[in-house]
């Protein structure tokens, strides 16, 4: 049995907000779905937010809970029509339809609690070479120096660093970092990559690699070569695609797509 906290402004009991709760054995406490009420928010295994009405206010509440809340799984109760408005930037762990049955509610609660346990056991800080990305404080450091990043620049760097070596298209990054409801073009990704590289500086801008005609990837820094061979590897034929940065090209959004292919890239594809 889990301890659940239901945040709602409805005057009806919890079993009417989410009828399945009345058939489960969890302990449910109710509190107002308002910012000031969060100051003395009681501890709980999971927080349920009533999102059946006033979605803009509920969205702000969910984001506030994610940034300053109790640190437990956050689930949003919505109507079927409200599902269309929910995006990744709400900061919730899962959604529950108000018509969901007891088995579904129990399964989603169990999975949310299990995922949070795995997350709690995992490090919140990503370290690679001179770069560290701290999810808990939303900060990134390079050789101990804090980088002055915007929220989206941080999210982009964090997402790429979480998947080192994996290539993402611009459309994928736009979806994962900006969300499904963002209507801007994929050039937004190019602009943020360019700014991010500029803040990383000439020595580390190659951490964000460009894969020609595909997208971007995070390049794990190679360890210093101590063999005295200058870091040279076995020939170019066995290498992966060449990763380039914008330092050798004009600082334009089109440079990633239109810059001429280098001899190294041609050799790598041969």
Domain map of the chain by residue range? 3-121, 125-269
Q: What is the pLDDT, as a whole number, of residue 76? A: 95
Instruction: Give the pLDDT confidence of 42-56 residue by residue, as tens digits.
Output: 778 899 999 999 899
Task: Please check whether the domain covering 3-121 is classified as CATH 3.40.50.2300.
Answer: yes
- Distance CA(208)–CA(210), nearest Å, equals 7
Q: What is the topology classification, in CATH, of domain 125-269?
A: Arc Repressor Mutant, subunit A (1.10.10)
Q: To which H or E segment does residue 265 belong?
A: helix 263-269
Q: How far apart are CA 210 and CA 33, in angstroms?
A: 45
Q: What is the pLDDT of residue 10?
A: 87
Low-confidence ranges of the chain (pLDDT < 70): 37-40, 69-70, 116-123, 180-181, 223-270
Query: pTM for the full model?
Result: 0.46
| Distance (Å) of CA 86 to CA 63, 76, 225 | 12, 9, 49
Q: Which pLDDT does position 43 carry in this prediction?
A: 78
Distance CA 5, CA 30 (A): 6
- Looking at residue 98, its pLDDT comes to 93
Q: How far apart, in whole angstroms, are the C-alpha atoms of residue 3 and residue 231?
A: 56
Tens-digit pLDDT profile for residues 22-45: 899 899 999 888 877 666 677 788
């Amino acid at each position: 049995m889990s301890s659940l906290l239901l945040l709602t402004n409805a005057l009806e009991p919890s079993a009417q907000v989410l009828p399945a709760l009345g058939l489960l054995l969890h302990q449910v406490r109710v509190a107002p779905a308002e910012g000031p009420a969060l100051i003395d928010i009681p501890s709980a295994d999971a927080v349920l937010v009533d999102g059946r009405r006033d979605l803009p206010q509920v969205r702000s509440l969910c984001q506030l809970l994610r940034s300053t809340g109790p640190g437990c799984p956050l689930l949003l109760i919505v109507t079927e029509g409200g599902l269309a408005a929910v995006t990744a930037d709400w900061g919730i762990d899962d959604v529950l339809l108000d018509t969901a049955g007891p088995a579904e509610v129990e399964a989603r609660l169990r999975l949310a609690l299990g995922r949070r346990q795995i997350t709690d056991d995992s490090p919140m800080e990503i370290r690679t070479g001179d770069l560290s990305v701290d999810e808990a404080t939303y900060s990134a450091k390079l050789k101990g120096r804090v980088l002055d990043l915007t929220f989206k620049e941080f999210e982009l760097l964090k997402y790429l660093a979480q998947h080192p070596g994996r290539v993402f298209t611009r459309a994928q990054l736009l979806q994962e970092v900006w969300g499904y409801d963002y209507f801007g073009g994929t050039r937004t990704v190019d602009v943020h990559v360019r700014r991010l590289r500029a803040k990383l500086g000439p020595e580390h801008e190659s951490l964000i690699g460009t894969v020609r005609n595909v997208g971007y990837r995070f390049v794990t820094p190679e360890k210093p070569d101590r063999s005295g061979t200058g870091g040279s590897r076995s020939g170019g034929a066995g290498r992966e695609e060449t990763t380039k940065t914008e330092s050798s090209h004009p600082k334009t959004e089109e440079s990633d797509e239109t810059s001429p292919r280098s001899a190294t890239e041609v050799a790598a594809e041969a």
